[in-house]
Amino acid sequence: MSTEELTDPVASTKPEVSRRGFVALGAGAALTIGNAGAAAAQTDQYGKPHDPIVGEDDPTILVSHPRLTPAAGSPIGAYAAVPRAMTRTTPGVVVIQHIWGVDATIRDVVRRYAKNGYIAIAPLLFDRLNPPSGDGLTEFAVFAPIAAAMNAQGFITTDALAAHDWTRTQASDGKTGITGFCMGGGIALQQIIDSKAYAACSMFYGSVRPGTKSGDPTTATTFDFTSRITTPLMGSFGGRDTSIKPDDVRAMFARLTVPHDVKIYDEAGHAFFDDTRASYVPSAAADAWTRTLSWFRQYLT
């Protein structure tokens, strides 16, 4: 696996537009859980630490902390949630963390998937490195060396596959998809290259240039890897993102031969889905979540 390019999520948005302005652009947008009874988000509650959208005590889900035994490397932990009304065909989603680890945002996303009828699991990719909690933190430098060490270990693919296999221990006949945010978005893309393990993928503002850096010149072969993707791929990106270039996003998705869907949100920068930090853009987050649920419903159920 190629080394994932690290992106500072708090310094990767065009400076002429403030984070506060982003929230104002999306004021009044619905932060949907995904079903008809979802409550509208209040913009003054999000963009900073807040109560979960789906709590661990939600009566429709069960939360657990399974230990995974990957094919390579020592066992790692995971955070998982499943619907109480599971059947043997219940679909699964592997959720790949952002730079902050499996923090409050990612744990809430896992529970939101379970609330929508998915077996969801986020493997703790930093687990062998004794990371600090990312809850409420905004300092990227704390996690940069941890992410670099994770890449150097070389176990990301087997860790993700262990999470995939865990979903099938819960429901043997279901399909499993993969999603990820920022660093995790790039990892999710890498997992579907040359792999048929996942039935669908939805990546959020992750690198679309595995093996090259965003600042490198684009050549005729930069996006050749797309011919090796057989998994339906959806992407959600910010038009104001300075780390994941919109032109690269368009070029990569244009080369895909599998079913795909991509949307670049003009009002959003990097990490627009992270509702616990100032990069949050409610209009883009709500729409990308709705599109992702539809994507997984189409290919996993």
Query: Residues with catalytic annotation?
Result: 182, 241, 270
List, as own/partner pairs, every contact residues 251-254 make where C-beta atoms lie below 8 angstroms and the sequence separation is at least 24, other chains included: 251/218, 251/222, 251/223, 252/208, 252/209, 252/223, 252/226, 253/208
3-state DSSP assignment of residue 257: coil
CA distances from 148 to 4, 206, 218 (A): 8, 16, 24
Supply angle C-alpha 274, 279, 285, rounded to 5: 50
Using the Cα atoms of residue 114, residue 99, residue 140 and residue 6 in order, give the sign of their dihedral.
negative
The distance between the two most distant Cα atoms of the chain, rounded to a whole number of Å, is 52
